[in-house]
Amino acid sequence: MAEDMKTLEENFRQQNKSCFILGASGETGRMLLQELLERNIFSKITLIGRRQLTFEGKEYEKLVQEVVDFEKLDEHAAAFQGHDVGYCCLGTTRAKAGAEIFVRVDHDYVLKSAELAKSGGCTQFHLESSRGADKNSNFLYLKVKGQVEADIEALGFDRYAIYRPGVLLVDRQESRPAEWLARKFLGAFSSVCSTSMAIPIQVVAKAMVSNTLLQPEQKTEILENKNIASLGKIEGK
């Protein structure tokens, strides 16, 4: 399968496509950017965010950065034009931002960005969501995640991939005590087997890139934690 992935990468690379990443300053976004740079399948990568990011190394020299005000996204429509593929790793938490800001970021900002991307010619959209996402859930976090999944599907991208990872096994820069305990407990199993509850963040990034190269029959696909784990083990190197 690795050899097949190498062929897919080369064929995709020759199409001279461009992409953008929302949320490149976050844990998954940073890992996704690194994976994309290493596998070099896009001729252009644009980071869209609220601030300029600083990188060290020649591999980052060709990156394009667009700084936007998410409260006034209509004024930044040009930043979303001309991309073939969009990746969204944007998000916060209710505990960190409060319920109102959480909904604004994880639903409103994400949906508006997807709308602008679609209008700008983007045909393929990849959304990092969450295990248990359900627009009918009684839990705000899962309800918002499920609602934005459905709202973006209604936009009608040619291809739309939803990733629902479990607990992300990563040492965050910010402190989230509950996640820290979960990572310590579940991390003991991650090196032995995949679980339906947790996944290393590197695997999520690898899965998102590998899945970009595939051509599923359905326009919309939902990858649960187990599917992400399997796909994330396939590399073209």
Q: Which residues are catalytic?
A: 141, 145
Three-state secondary structure readout of the chain: CHHHHHHHHHHHHCCCCEEEEECCCCHHHHHHHHHHHHHCCCCEEEEEECCCCCCCCHHHCCCEEEECCHHHHHHHHHHHCCCCEEEECCCCCHHHHCHHHHHHHHHHHHHHHHHHHHHCCCCEEEEECCCCCCCCCCCHHHHHHHHHHHHHHCCCCCEEEEEECCEEECCCCCCCHHHHHHHHHHHHHHCCCCCCCEEEHHHHHHHHHHHHCCCCCCCEEEEEHHHHHHHCCCCCC
Q: What is the pLDDT of residue 96?
A: 83
Q: What is the pLDDT of residue 173?
A: 45
List the CATH number of the domain containing 194. Answer: 3.40.50.720
Q: What is the pLDDT of residue 196?
A: 64
Q: What is the pLDDT of residue 235?
A: 60
| Residue 56 counted as domain residue | yes
| Residue 3 counted as domain residue | yes
In which domain, by residue range, is 139 found?
Answer: 1-232
Please name which of 130, 152, 143, 107 lies closest in space to residue 197, comparing C-alpha atoms: 130
> For tokens 């990849």, what's the residue?
126
Q: What is the pLDDT of residue 95?
A: 80
Q: What is the pLDDT of residue 94?
A: 81
| Residue 237 counted as domain residue | no
| Residue 77 counted as domain residue | yes
Total domains in the chain come to: 1
Series of mean pLDDT values for 10-residue runs along the chain (237 residues)? 84 97 96 96 97 92 95 98 97 86 97 98 98 97 97 98 94 48 48 66 97 94 96 71
